[in-house]
Structures are given as structure tokens and as C-alpha cells.
Structure 1
Amino acid sequence: MSRPDLLSARTRLRKRLPPRALLKGAAFLLLILGGYGLSFWFDFSELLHPERITGWLQQAGPWAPPIFMALMATSVVISPIPSLPLDIAAGATFGPMLGTAYAVFGAEIGAIASFLIGRMLGRDVLAKLLRTNVAFCERCSDRHLAIFVLLARLVPLFSFDVISYGAGLTNMSLRTFAFVTFVGMIPPTFALTYAGSQVASGAWLMIVSGLAMVAVMLLLPKLVVRYPTARWVQFIRGGMPVALAPNDMGAAAKTPCSSCGGPPV
């Protein structure tokens, strides 16, 4: 490429990506890479052991709930930080009911933050590059996207953090995302906090029942894929909507989500 052509290409790139968009893109990239970089410096599995977290929270006194919710929100925004030990520690420290409430509210804050980061930073840079308003699955309605996010929250088929960032790149409204995320988190979070509370109490019968609840939640993804509910998985991958029966494939082309050309997020 000649020098004039190179200068012309640089000029076009600057027009497509003004400094503000570049700064947003760089901030988004640094946030993601920074989180993964921390995983190489710190052994989160050891640092965030449930017993250690419980000790910290007990020493925090009345500040324990806001500190815990801040930790939970951070674990959602920064993907390598595990949230499972936090759920267990919440049950051991606050009990199953309050532990579930604090864990759900903390994760909700983190999920909304990730959603907004994905929408304001990642989507903006893509829009400048492609010279169009970027929105994945533009023909998918809020209802279809809500079903996908709700399913992803109820059963861990996909990363919680990735779903939150990815949802921000769709046309899904923040209100719908926040609602289905909140509702979908409650059952699995309660199972984990309940198990943590029973481990702390030392009641072996309750410990076994709590672990059984966790096992059921972990087995649900395999059941969803293996049995007739596999239509949910087909829906996630961009196929026919869940409401359609297999013999309604002809009508699937007319539905909003089947014409997306790819998965919702």
C-alpha cells in the first residue's frame, strides 16, 4: 500500500472511530483483560474460600451486608472471580433467607452493570466500525430474549457474566433483563445459600438435603439437553421458538426469532 493510500485509510478509520469511541472501546477491553489478568496474579479459589469469606464478614459487623453485596457485584462484572464461594459463605453467615436476598441483590447489581457496559461500550464501538446501529438479533422480541435469559439463569448452560454482557448487545430492554435475571437467580441461589447455612450449622441431615438441592440444579442442564426439553436449547441456538411444536416448522420462518440468523446473544 502506498503512503497516500495508507494516510487515506487512517483518515477513514479516524472518521469511523472518533477519540471518544476509541476510549470507550479501550476501557471495555481493559476491563475484560484486567479481570482475566487478576486470575494469574491471585488464586481466587484459595483467596475466596467460603470459610475465609465467612470470617471476614463476621468481623465486618453491621457492614457485612453491603460489603458482601459489593463483592458479589464485582464477581459478576469481573468474570474470573468466582461467585460460588460467595453464595455458600452468604448462607453460612446470614442464613438461607437473608443470604439469598443479599446474594441475589448483589448479583443483580453486577448483572445490570455488565449489561450497561456491554451496551454503552462494546455496542458503540461496533456501531462506529460498521457505520450502523449494531444490535444482535434485531427481530427478536423482548419476550424471546427474556425466555433465553431466564433459562440461562435457572440452569447454568452458559456463563452468568457472558450472558449479562451479551444481553447488552441485543435490543432487550434493561427493565426486562433486570426482571428476568432477578427472578431466574432466586432458585439456584437459594439452593447454594441453604447448603452453606446447613454446613455451618453442622446438621448432617440438612447438609445432605442441601447438597441434594445443589446437585439437582447442576443436573438440570443435562436433562434440558437430553430430554424433550431440548427444544429450549434449539431456541437458544437461534432455531424455532419454544412455543412451536416440531410439526410447526413451516410456520417457524414467520416468527421473530427464527429469522435472526443466529443465537439471541
Structure 2
Amino acid sequence: MIVPHLRRLLRQRSVVRFGSLLLILALFGLALLVVQPDLASAPRLVDRLGPAAPVAAVLVGALLMVALVPRTLITVAWGALFGPLGGAGYTLAAALVAAALGFTVGRMLGRDFVAERVRGRLARLDGWFSRQSVLGVITVRLLPVGGFGLVSYGYGTTGARVVPFLIGSVLASVPSAFGYAAIGAAVADPDEFNWLAVAPASFGLVAAAVLVARWRRAERAHRRRAADTAPD
């Protein structure tokens, strides 16, 4: 009697935690629709912070990504405030922190719920995430499947390993970080715009196409091996 009761209790707790995760995401989504930040005062705030501005940029950028603010918008804004190199660097550092936070929250609140209920194809997909390398994380990050923060939460609910996830998340963010930071810097100072700074963004598109093609070939090879080893 005790064991079934304990199992029911654990399942109920996993449902509550998963519901809390969904509630957090819903509140963040609502905040994106309601909150209107005062962007005009941002340059003055950066000046007042002085040497602490880079640290604030990383922490605030990470919190904004965790709150589901698109990384593209943050990168453009940081490029306008700190220049193309500073904006890209601070955004990448913020992306690392945000990926760690989102993954941790997703793992704590959603992993048990998902692990208890995945069956069939979803179980195979969860297994794929568990075996995923840095290259696999980069592939998913470059696909238009969701915002940076949302993907981080989602990864936490899978069996993915944290180190490949963090490394892949940062590497996948590099091309667009420099490109969008350069665009932001150009908006703030058009005379200083350098088109070569946007080049990494185009490399990111090419890399995405190559990685997706490799992933699809690997999936087809896996299906063929499974079919060959299946009993007659």
C-alpha cells in the first residue's frame, strides 16, 4: 500500500511542478505584451553605471532571455549601447547564463513529468536528446523552433546533458550575435557601420543548412539500421 501511494504522490508533485513551469512561461509571455520599457533612458543609465555597465549588461540580458525576450532584440540593443564587439560579447555571456538558468528551471520543474509520460516516438526523441552532442544542440538552436529562452526551458525537460547544451547554445549564438550587434551599432552611429561585421550572420545560415542536412542523413541511417536489425 505504501509504495503505490508514494508513486501517486510523486506523480502528483511532478504535475504540480510542470504546471508551475507552464504558469511561469505564461506570465513571461503576458509581460512581453504588457510591459513597455523606456529605451530612451538606456544610454544615460549605461553612463551612470560606468565600469559596472558590462556586468549589468550580462545579468540584465540573461534575465531578459529567461523572461522570453527575443535574443535578437537584446543583441541589437546591446550593439547600439556598447558597440559591435562589446554588444556581441556581452550578449554571448548573457546567453550562457540564460541557457544555464532556463535549463535548470526546466530540469527541476518539468523533467519528472516528461520522463514519466513519454512513450513511443516521444521516448525515442527524448533518447535522442539524451545522446545529443554539441553539434546536435547547435543544429536545434539554429532551427526556427522557438525563442532562445523557450528552447532552454524545453531542453531542461529532456534527458539532455548540461555541458554539451551550454557549449552548443553559445556556439550557435556566435554568428548572429556579431551580425545583430553590428546592426545595432549602425543604428546608433551610421557612420561607423562595417558591413564585414554582418558576415558571421550569413555564415550562420550556411552552417544551419549543413547541420540540418547532416542530421537528416543521420536519422535516415538510423532508420535503415533499425530496419536491418528488426526481427523478421
TM range (shorter): 0.7 to 0.9
Number of aligned residue pairs: give it. Answer: 219
The aligned counterpart of 2:27 is: 34
Higher radius of gyration, 1 or 2: 1
Measured in 2, the distance between the counterparts of 1:135 and 1:57 equals 47
User: Contact 2:114–2:158 (CA<8 Å) still a contact in 1?
Assistant: no
The aligned counterpart of 1:198 is: 186
The aligned counterpart of 2:9 is: 15
For 1:15, give the aligned amino acid.
L
The aligned counterpart of 1:76 is: 65
User: Contact 2:137–2:164 (CA<8 Å) still a contact in 1?
Assistant: no
The aligned counterpart of 1:164 is: 152
Q: Post-superposition shift, 1:28?
A: 1.4
Measured in 2, the distance between the counterparts of 1:36 and 1:107 equals 19
Measured in 2, the distance between the counterparts of 1:54 and 1:13 equals 54
Measured in 1, the distance between the counterparts of 2:171 and 2:110 equals 26
Q: Post-superposition shift, 1:141?
A: 6.9
User: Contact 1:88–1:192 (CA<8 Å) still a contact in 2?
Assistant: yes
1:28-177 alignment runs, 5 A limit: 28-43=21-36, 47=37, 49=39, 52-79=41-68, 81-127=69-115, 137-140=125-128, 144-153=132-141, 155=142, 157-159=144-146, 160-177=148-165
Measured in 2, the distance between the counterparts of 1:177 and 1:104 equals 14
Q: Post-superposition shift, 1:82?
A: 3.1
TM-score by length of 2: 0.74
For 2:171, give the aligned amino acid.
V
Q: Post-superposition shift, 1:17?
A: 2.8
For 1:232, give the aligned amino acid.
V
CA shift in 2, pair 1:144/1:252, >3 Å: farther
Q: Post-superposition shift, 1:71?
A: 1.9
Q: Post-superposition shift, 1:172?
A: 2.0
Which secondary structure state, in structure 2, belongs to the residue aligned with residue 157 of structure 1? coil
Q: Which has the higher helix share?
A: 2
**Which string of whole-angstrom CA distances, capped at 9 and with x for unpartnered residues, describes residues 100-134 of structure 1?**
2211111111111111111221112334567xxx9
User: Contact 2:54–2:90 (CA<8 Å) still a contact in 1?
Assistant: yes
1:232 lines up with 2:212 in the alignment: yes
Measured in 2, the distance between the counterparts of 1:214 and 1:197 equals 15
- Identical counterparts, % of pairs: 22
The aligned counterpart of 2:229 is: none
For 2:225, give the aligned amino acid.
K
For 1:58, give the aligned amino acid.
D
The aligned counterpart of 1:241 is: 218
Choose between structure 1 and 2 for higher RCO, CA contacts under 8 A separated by at least 6 residues.
2
For 1:189, give the aligned amino acid.
A
User: Contact 2:95–2:169 (CA<8 Å) still a contact in 1?
Assistant: no
The aligned counterpart of 1:254 is: 225
Which secondary structure state, in structure 2, belongs to the residue aligned with residue 171 of structure 1? coil
Measured in 2, the distance between the counterparts of 1:35 and 1:99 equals 24
Measured in 2, the distance between the counterparts of 1:250 and 1:86 equals 39
